Structure 1
């Protein structure tokens, strides 16, 4: 599973979506129990159905920069909890927030 993504330059205000893809390499269905972002400007959307062994799953992450982030390189973390060992995986996103669209 890829665990980081750099959006590059993003405008305030905007919705910036990226889809993280992962493969279930185990022998049991993989269930994502929760996906929690480090702040409200990042919205993860976990798959509702289990990912069967050998299949590819997807998790969308939308970054919505805030006005106070203009001119900054922002890094945010999503904590994904699943029925795996280890149970937590961390996804990191980065973006350089620029003003005006």
Structure 2
């Protein structure tokens, strides 16, 4: 009897887990989904004071229009230079341009940029870049 009761409880909990997982997948399929061509970029070695830019391209692979409301950076050396202000229809493409100013920076840099939008895949809303800032050589007269 105890064995049967345990088995019934186990099956009920497992069935509830499957239902929750299925409803989460349905919710993800119904909404905007931001899918980047590539989410990281390495500028390699740059010299202190250099300014570099990278364009991150994406597609709305969801079923609803994608609306980007903000692009958040972690410091003043990183600047979002442009992103689409109008809704992006399902299947539509867009891009986010990020600029980095290495003035005052030295060594390995790793910057993360967060895309704030109505996308259901919040984990897919971060892009990043790395670079190694080398000391600027002073020319002797």
Structure with the higher fraction of residues in strand conformation: 1
* Residue 13 of structure 1 pairs with residue 49 of structure 2: yes
CA RMSD of aligned residues (A): 1.6
* Residue 76 of structure 1 pairs with residue 111 of structure 2: yes
Greater relative contact order (Cα < 8 A, sep 6+):
1
* Alpha-carbon distance between aligned partners in 2 of 1:5 and 1:50, rounded to the nearest angstrom: 26
Larger radius of gyration: 2
Structure 1: where are the runs of 5+ without partners? none
Please, which of 33, 45, 68 is the counterpart of residue 32 of structure 1?
68
Please, which of 61, 64, 67 is the counterpart of residue 101 of structure 2?
64
TM-score, reference length from structure 2 = 0.64
* Alpha-carbon distance between aligned partners in 1 of 2:74 and 2:58, rounded to the nearest angstrom: 21
Cα offsets for 1:20-52 (capped at 9, x unmatched): 000111122211111110111001132222222
TM-score, reference length from structure 1 = 0.87
Runs of 4+ residues deviating >3 angstroms: none
Aligned length: 99
Structure with the higher fraction of residues in helix conformation: 2
